[in-house]
Amino acid sequence: MHPKRRLSSRASGILSALNIPSNKELSGVYDGQWKGSGEAIESVCPTTGEVLARIRTASPADVSETLTKTREAYFQFRDVPAPRRGEILRQIREKLANKREELGALVTLEMGKIRSEGVGEVQEFIDICDYAVGLSRMMNGRIVASERPGHSILEVPNPLGVVAVLSAFNFPVAVYGWNLALSLAAGNATIWKPSPTTPLTSIAVTSIIAEVLSKNNLPGALAGLVTGGQPVGEVLVGSKEVELVSFTGSERVGRIVGQAVVSRFGKSILELGGNNASIVMPDADLSLAVPGVFFGAVGTAGQRCTSTRRLFLHRDIAPEFLQRLQKLYASLKPGDPLDDNTLLGPLHTPAAVNLYESTVEYLRSIDADILFGGKGYEMTPYYGGNFVQPTIAVPKSVEMSDRIWSTETFAPILNVAIFDELEEAIRWNNAVPQGLSSSLWTRDLRNVGKWTGPSGSDAGIVNVNAGTSGAEIGASFGGNKSTGWGRESGGDAWKQYVRWSACTINFSNEAPLAQGVNFNIE
């Protein structure tokens, strides 16, 4: 086994702060015990190309054993009173807060996003724990007025069972956090399959939660972990032992997962790709809109599901807007995302660089004007890193069914079109398969009404003078159409993590039938 190698001090400090050994192969399965007998995978740093660790993933037998333990854990946990479940979440919140900086740095090291975004992700997990602690005293049902005398109808939420969380590489902490917090508050057990390219982060997070569970004499399999790729995901998706599959990832895989879950009448939450637009009106405050679009398009190196990929500019302000935006792009320097001054880190994998390059090539082939970028950097801080220049392009066609407009390219490429009327821009906003996030920049209340109303944006997130990315946990998060219609995090999202029963209770001396039906034998 390889780790005779020496880890860079850049990486080793972060791993040791989280007690992750760097001199041996790591176990990538947790069901109360750390284990793993599947294939070994490597965690590779996107900034330097350095191998950070080798992880033993889950074999099919490991997945099925972990599922069995997770179900047993559910049987125990479902009878724990909800406020007591909230107390467990409060303790998890405390542990996460104590390790916020260290975990954030690990996200940066392994995923490649800049440090403040890595820490921000951990903060999201902390915030949703706070939210779920409150929720644990408020997951209420309803009493419905019965048409029959002496009857009550109760709508009762009970724990659902086992929730499998399958997550994407770009939010290796927050997406799991949103799901775990609601799922545990609701009385479920959770089994997590993270992205195969962010296993270290999942091991660090699971270790923190495992400590809390153990301290409270609860089974570790309440928050089980099975690392690995597609085969591990397929077992979870196909298993009747999983009541809810919460899947975050691409539309391509989401389509497969959604169909597989529905074919066994399971429940799913799908959080899939976005293809998000910002619309800038002539009355917009450009001192807000230009930096807002800049962060939306370039933040996380364009690797958020909510990244701004389409920019629709009103003809009157388009030249000035583009000039100011290009100035900001020109000021960006790629750097080590661990360095506090860096705003642009690498793409996550070499495959993402290939996708970026082939998309730029396609833009050139359709004669788009490349206003900025369109290539890698000559000088990057690390030669092994996946750095590319954020790109602004103006395709000739504004036909939204064209591939360049209708598909999500998970890289920092912003396509621009010019419009004359708001209605035209809204039509473009809505003309793509995806429906995650959208934003309108205006100071005119009439535009706001149109944008947020029935003839407005059809996305799950509809912002005004706020960019497409950077949602808070309080509102439910998710998208419509091919983004999958899923909702997670705040709002009413918790209602999907329980099973609902309508309970009619007759406390009278008669047993009348509903709708006045008469079924008496004379």
Interface with ligand NAD (CB under 6 A): 166-171, 193, 195-196, 229-230, 233-234, 237, 248-250, 253, 256-257, 271-274, 305, 408, 410, 436, 479, 483
Q: How far is the CB of 416 from ligand NAD (least distance, A)?
A: 21
Which of these, 170, 232, 235, lies nearest to 198 by C-alpha position?
Answer: 170
Comparing CB distances to ligand NAD, the nearer of 101 and 234 is 234
Comparing CB distances to ligand NAD, the nearer of 192 and 321 is 192
Comparing CB distances to ligand NAD, the nearer of 170 and 415 is 170
Q: How far is the CB of 80 from ligand NAD (least distance, A)?
A: 29
CB atoms within 10 A of CB 341: 9
Q: How far is the CB of 59 from ligand NAD (least distance, A)?
A: 15
- The token pair at 180 is 């775990």
Q: Choosing from 65, 271, 408, 488, which is the catalytic residue?
A: 271
Element (H, E) at 438: strand 437-441
**Which parts of 366-487 fold into alpha helices (H)?**
403-406, 422-430, 445-452
Which amino acid is present at 375?
K
Which amino acid is present at 21?
P
Residue tagged 């508050």 (tokens): 185
271 has catalytic annotation: yes
Comparing CB distances to ligand NAD, the nearer of 151 and 348 is 348
Q: How far is the CB of 302 from ligand NAD (least distance, A)?
A: 11
Rounded distance, CA 130 to CA 97, Å? 11
- Compute CA 317 distance to the chain's CA centroid, rounded to the nearest angstrom: 34
3-state secondary structure of 250: coil
Q: How far is the CB of 459 from ligand NAD (least distance, A)?
A: 11
Rounded distance, CA 27 to CA 35, Å? 5
Q: How far is the CB of 206 from ligand NAD (least distance, A)?
A: 15
- The token pair at 297 is 């398009």
Task: Tell me the residue number closest to ligand NAD, measured at CB.
Answer: 233
3 contacts: CB under 8 Å, gap ≥ 6: 22, 23, 24, 25, 53, 54
75 contacts: CB under 8 Å, gap ≥ 6: none
254 contacts: CB under 8 Å, gap ≥ 6: 247, 270, 272, 273, 484
Q: How far is the CB of 172 from ligand NAD (least distance, A)?
A: 9
Comparing CB distances to ligand NAD, the nearer of 106 and 166 is 166
Alpha-carbon distance values, 485 to 182, 274, 332, 433, 453 (Å):
18, 12, 35, 12, 18
- The token pair at 131 is 């939210």
- The token pair at 32 is 């109360």
Rounded distance, CA 214 to CA 92, Å? 12
Q: Are 200 and 191 in contact (CB under 8 A)?
A: no
Catalytic residue list: 271
